[in-house]
Amino acid sequence: MLRFRKELWLLGSRDREKAGRCFADMVIKEYKFENGPGVSKIHRHTYAFGRNPLASKSQVRMQPSLLSGHITKGDAVTISIEPNLLALSRGFVLGLDPTSVVVGVDHELDVGSLLARSRRSTTRRAEDAVFRIDKDEMAAGIGRIRDNLAKLFYAGGDERRRALVVDLQAPAFDDALLEIERQRLKDEKESVLDENQKQAVGKVLVAKDYTIMLGMPGTGKTTTIAEIIKELVKRGKTVLLSSYTHSAVDTILAKLHEADFEILRLGNVDKACLPSISKKSRG
């Protein structure tokens, strides 16, 4: 995360955009100020940015759609004026579509004043200012994790999750249904899962809180997860599958390729590790 943050100062905006961590060549399309009840202080000033229509054709962008990178709604970002006025303001992405991004900040961006005080900037007119919007990896990473953990201790917080995460209360299972599920899996999945895998699937299906599945490489965790997803969908559930890497998600999706339900793969389709995944799923 520290290495990514240094890139704000070490890399140009287009190089950062190629990596999906920046929006380059942006201009202000609309500005709004809201100060009514229920409006967060950090969102009082909102700016809608779009691509600079005056950018030359030689400035070929790697990401024609703003949805192709790693910046999403809710992410913390820094706002800079290209090329030299870096990290003038921090804010949060309030809205995002293929052509524009809406950022909320806690103070007005007085572009004219900023340009007038700068000796390095080659831009002098506020209407000519071109912006770059960089993802703040530190805020979106460790800071968000820390904030989520802190919320467990707030008054009126999630007492159930606090008991599980902080007090290490053991997860609960519906033992009355466990044997029924095991027997049914034995009849239906005889040729697919071994006994340990059936036990893991059964525990997931009767879990009231969560189930942690541990296995050494090659023990069939991927196959088991695929079968768990099929069983949950049979029961009318919607399943969110996530992982630290694209390849791990796609390996499981490959095992679900012949399943009789639709899969929505969120993310850049170009990052799909298997061609068959990008054909069936929608990025």
Choose among 242, 28, 260: nearest CA to 128: 28
Gap between the Cα atoms of 195 and 113, Å rounded? 70
Instruction: Determine if the pTM surpasses 0.75.
Output: no
Tens of pLDDT, residues 220-252: 899 999 999 998 998 899 999 998 878 888 899
pLDDT above 60 for 283: no
| Intervals of CATH 2.40.30.270 along the chain | 2-135
Q: What is the pLDDT of residue 139?
A: 64
Structure tokens at 141: 């990473």
Q: What is the pLDDT of residue 282?
A: 47
Q: Are residues 252 and 225 in contact, defined by beta-carbon separation less than 8 angstroms?
A: yes
On average, the pLDDT of the chain sits at 80
Angle at 245 between CA 241 and CA 249, to 5 degrees: 35
Gap between the Cα atoms of 171 and 157, Å rounded? 19
pLDDT band, residue 15 (cuts 50/70/90): confident
Gap between the Cα atoms of 267 and 120, Å rounded? 38
pLDDT band, residue 119 (cuts 50/70/90): low
Gap between the Cα atoms of 147 and 88, Å rounded? 24
- In percent, how much of the chain has pLDDT > 70? 80
CATH class for domain 2-135?
A: mainly beta
Tens of pLDDT, residues 75-110: 889 899 887 788 888 889 999 999 999 999 888 888
Residue 93 pairs in a beta bridge with 103
In terms of pLDDT, which residue wins out, 140 or 186?
186
pLDDT band, residue 58 (cuts 50/70/90): very low
